[in-house]
Amino acid sequence: MHTGIAAGPAYANPQPAHQGPRGRTSNAHARPGPAFDRGSRDRLKVPSAAEVVDLPGVTLLFGLIDMHTHLDSDPEAGGYGFLEFTDAYWTVIAVPNARKTLKAGFTTARNVGSSDWSDVALKQAIEAGKIDGPRIVPAGYSFGATGGVFSHNTESGQQQLTPAEIKAVAEDVGPQGCSPCPRRFRHPRRGLASIDTIEHASLIDDEGIAAARKMGTWLSMDLYNTEYTQSEGAKNGVLEDNLCKDREIAEVQRQNFGKALKAGVKMVYGTDAGVYPRGDNARQFAVMIRYGAAPRQAIQTATINAADALGQKDKVGVIKPGAFGDLVGVTGDHLQNSGCWKNPPS
């Protein structure tokens, strides 16, 4: 079946569905499909039997991509609260989390680390049409290169792997078709040529920024989550040691984001959702804009930039023939009002 979507002067014509995110959500106004075309009503040849969805006042854009999620986690189980649950609980909780992520407008999500291959199981269930959720890029098990805000008995940025070890990991997984993404790599200048994305990059310095720009490495900097952690973390069981590190790091990371962006370093959109509730993934756009990103730049980090970093720039993050037809609609103009992301249209 063909579906035509009218939103202002544009008209979209997704073709029959193909493999992609499952579920028609409150703000994804078209089922995904290849051979996508777009243009004015006069230019496109719309089949007479096509379903037309008229969305006055709604802006359509590409399905969004979150490059750093934890779908199999629960922000309300902070500190040692996770010990109250069985290992299988985390795979089960990933199911509603995936649906919330899709309903928030994110049709592709990279899950950066999980236990018991739960993100792979989630990907398989979505692709089999058993549950609703975004297109999953799983990482399986993970380990950090440096100490982070929520790790215990380490300082933020404290080295946990040597540059030689990081380089060896990257060189080993690269030929397997995997994309290495070290977490909280404080000084990314060493061994950077083997790294595709750097997660958090909270303490990146001027030398690291210059190296990232030179090597074309993508930074994935989670700028919003501290607002949730500081307001709700203690109630959720997050230890004061971790809350203290979060307070110390938050503004430093945000300032470094602005510096790296101004220097021309490539950016992707990564939220660390799981530290805060799924469904609020898009709230980071406003923070990115507050710290120097133009609205268009912010949107591009979650569309064409993220697609490029994933090696899928012809399939996701774009609307063109041969790509998946992932569409997201927001009420109003997202380039003029970043707050429109907080309440997706029903």
The total domain count for the chain is 2
Non-local (6+) Cβ contacts of 58 within 8 A are: 7, 8, 29, 329, 330, 331, 345
Give this prediction's pTM.
Answer: 0.84
- Other CB atoms within 10 A of residue 44 CB: 15
- Distance (Å, rounded) from C-alpha 43 to C-alpha 65? 29
Q: Do 6 and 73 reside in the same domain of the chain?
A: no
Q: Which residues pair with 274 in a beta bridge?
A: none
Non-local (6+) Cβ contacts of 146 within 8 A are: 156, 157, 158, 159, 160, 161, 183, 184, 185, 186
Q: Do 89 and 238 reside in the same domain of the chain?
A: yes
The encoded tokens of residue 41 equal 């009503």
Summarize pLDDT for 290-317 with one digit per residue, the tens: 999 999 999 999 999 999 999 998 899 8
Q: Do 28 and 116 reside in the same domain of the chain?
A: no
Q: Do 163 and 295 reside in the same domain of the chain?
A: yes
Summarize pLDDT for 122-140 with one digit per residue, the tens: 999 999 999 999 999 998 8
- Distance (Å, rounded) from C-alpha 160 to C-alpha 330? 42
Q: Do 145 and 155 reside in the same domain of the chain?
A: yes
CA distances to 60, 130, 187, 218, 255 from 212, rounded to whole Å, are: 32, 40, 10, 7, 16
Domain that includes residue 329, residue range: 1-62+317-346
Q: Do 57 and 156 reside in the same domain of the chain?
A: no
Q: Do 94 and 186 reside in the same domain of the chain?
A: yes
Q: Do 79 and 200 reside in the same domain of the chain?
A: yes
- Distance (Å, rounded) from C-alpha 299 to C-alpha 61? 9
Average pLDDT, the chain: 80
Q: Do 127 and 181 reside in the same domain of the chain?
A: yes
Q: Do 71 and 57 reside in the same domain of the chain?
A: no
CATH number of the domain enclosing 47: 2.30.40.10
Burial of 137 (0-12, 13-18, 19+ CB in 10 A): buried
Q: Do 267 and 306 reside in the same domain of the chain?
A: yes
Q: Among 63-67, 196-200, 318-322, 339-343, which stretch is predicted with the lowest mean pLDDT?
A: 339-343
Q: Is the pLDDT of residue 142 over 50?
A: yes
Q: What percent of the chain has pLDDT over 90?
A: 45
Q: Do 279 and 328 reside in the same domain of the chain?
A: no
